Structures are given as C-alpha cells and as structure tokens.
Amino acid sequence: MPRANRARNRGTMMTPIEIEDRVRQFVLATFLVDTPPEAFQNSDDLFLLLDSLQILRLVIHLESTFGVKVQQQELTADNLSSVQKVAAFMVRKIGDRRLARVAK
C-alpha cells in the first residue's frame, strides 16, 4: 500500500477500546510518567492533570496517530477533557472520515 494511503487509513481498523487504550498509553507515557497506571482512570479530568502545552501536544499526536484534523471549534472540554472523551471524539472523527470517503 502506498505510504499516503497507509497514512489515511491510520486508526480505521481499530476498535473504540483499542483507540481508548492508545490514548491512555500516550497520556501515561508522555505526561504522567510518575503516576502509577492503576491510579489513573480514563475518566479523570485531563484539564486538571495536564497543562495547555501538554493538551496541545496531545492534539497534535491525535492528528498524526489517527490521521484526522482537529478543527478549531472542536477544541472543547467535551472532546478533550478525559481519555474517554478523547477516544469517543476520535471514534467520531474516524467515522466521519470513512463516511466522507464513501461519499466520494
């Protein structure tokens, strides 16, 4: 498969649980290295645990990992303030991308 197609397909074949786990692993490994994994819940408020620079890094990581573009109006607490919300947001974005491709 050409590299461009591989990039577009990033995240397409992952289940919602796998997406949530990928997000969780990134947050733990990148920002919460001193936090025992068992002490961090996927429902924990990321806006209390991370600073704005870290949230920006998370957004950039989501875009490159899942091949989506997060729009300005999508930078909201509903989409980004917990691992669960981020994962649900990515599931929707990936679904939207699939639909857009089918429509073409």
Partner 1 sequence: MAAALSAARSGAQVCLIEARPRLGGTVAFSLIHTLGGLYDSAGVLLNAGLAEELVVALLQADSSVRKRRMGRTWVLSVCPDIYQAVVQGWVESDRRVTVLTETRVVGVVRQSDTIRALELSSPAGEFRLPTKAVIDATGTAEVVNLVSSSLVQNEDRRAAGGLIFRMRGTPPDAVAFPKGLGILRAIRDAVVEGSLPRQCANVWVDTGARSDEVYIKLPVPIPANWREQQEPAEVTRDALEMQAAVVEFLRRMPEFAQASVSRTGELGVRDGGQVRGEYLLTADDVRCGAMFADAACRCTWPIESWDPEEGVSLEYLQDGSYYEIPLRSLKVRGVRNLWAVEKCLSADRYAQASARVVGSCWSMGEAVGR
Residue 36 DSSP code: -
Q: How far is the CB of 13 from partner 1 (least distance, A)?
A: 27
Q: How far is the CB of 92 from partner 1 (least distance, A)?
A: 17
Using CB under 8 A as the criterion, which residues of the chain lie in contact with partner 1 when the complex forms?
Answer: 34, 47-56, 59-60, 71-72, 75-77, 80
Q: How far is the CB of 95 from partner 1 (least distance, A)?
A: 22
DSSP 59-70: HHHHHHHHT---
Structure tokens at 99: 């639909």
Torsional sign, CA 10, 84, 80, 33 = negative
**Residue 25 vs 35, nearer CB to partner 1:** 35
